[in-house]
């Protein structure tokens, strides 16, 4: 999923996450995921 995200989303794009995509995930785990995403 991250590979597809990073090939689709450009670094200068603004992304709005609407919904509970991080529900139940620790802050540390979410931070570790976001540093791997383009335009996070």
* DSSP letter for each residue of 6-37: HHHS-TT------S-TTTT--HHHHHHHHTTS
Q: Would you give per-residue pLDDT tens digits along the chain (40 residues)?
A: 889 989 999 989 998 888 887 889 999 998 998 889 887 6
pTM of the entire predicted model = 0.57
Give CA–CA dist 28/19, Å, rounded: 19
The pLDDT value recorded for residue 34 is 87
């Amino acid at each position: 999923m991250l590979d597809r995200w990073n090939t689709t989303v450009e670094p200068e794009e603004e992304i709005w996450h609407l919904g509970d995509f991080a529900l139940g995930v620790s802050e540390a785990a979410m931070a570790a995921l976001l540093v791997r995403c383009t335009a996070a």
